[in-house]
């Protein structure tokens, strides 16, 4: 489990408009590049001071690479981060106000309490 790293992916992609678009268009390629180049970068440190041990699990990598927000929820990714990035990527594909958000919720409707633990 590397919930922290999944959250770091969602957080850093959401706050970079170019990366958000790249992830929308090429999810598998973006996840592969990000894990290789960015995953271990401490956010306010130079490259020489990279972390040496962070990596996705196979399940996390696949969920991110397939835009599978249902699995990400089940893995305990922070739901606010996932939602915010999904709105940025996919709200534009729906005609009705909140259409994307309601579709997002409907895909999670089979899940009851307690929700997966989001502590990192």
Partner 1 sequence: MAKLVAILATTHHPFFYRTSQLPPEEAPPFAAEWVRKVEAYRETLTRARPDVLVMVGSDHFHQLWLDNMPQFLIGKAPFYDGNWENEMREFGLPKLLFKGDEELSAYMLREGIDKGFDLAFSNELRVDHSITCPIFTVRPQNDLPIVPIYTNIFAPPLPRPERFVQLGRTIREIIDAWPSHLRVAVIGTGHLSLELGGPRQFGPHGPDPEFDARAVRWIADGDIDGCLSSVTLDSLHAPGNATHGFMDFMLMMGIAGHTKADYADNLDLFHTMEAYFAWYPEPDLLVGPPLASKGALL
Between 48 and 112, CB nearer to partner 1: 112
Q: What is the length of the chain?
A: 120
- Scored b (16 or more CB within 10 A) or e, 94-114 reads eeeeeebeeebeeeeeeeeee
Q: How far is the CB of 65 from partner 1 (least distance, A)?
A: 19
64 vs 75: CA distance, rounded Å: 11
Interface residue list for partner 1 (CB under 8 A): 4, 7-8, 11, 14-15, 17, 42-43, 73, 78-84, 87-88, 98, 101-102, 104-106, 108-111, 113-115, 117-120
Between 41 and 59, CB nearer to partner 1: 41
Q: How far is the CB of 98 from partner 1 (least distance, A)?
A: 5
Whole-angstrom CA distances from 109 to 50, 79, 104, 112, 114 are 39, 14, 9, 8, 13
Q: How far is the CB of 64 from partner 1 (least distance, A)?
A: 15
Between 48 and 109, CB nearer to partner 1: 109
């Amino acid at each position: 489990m590397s919930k922290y790293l999944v959250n770091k992916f969602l957080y850093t992609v959401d706050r970079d408009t170019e990366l958000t678009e790249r992830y929308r268009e090429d999810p598998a390629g973006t996840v592969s590049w990000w894990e290789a180049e960015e995953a271990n970068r401490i956010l306010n440190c130079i490259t020489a001071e990279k972390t040496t041990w962070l990596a996705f699990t196979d399940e996390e990598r696949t969920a991110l690479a397939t835009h599978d927000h249902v699995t990400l929820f089940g893995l305990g990714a922070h739901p606010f981060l996932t939602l915010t990035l999904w709105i940025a990527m996919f709200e534009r594909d729906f005609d009705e106000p909140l259409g994307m958000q309601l579709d997002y919720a409907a895909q999670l409707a089979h899940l009851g309490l307690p929700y997966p633990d989001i502590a990192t």
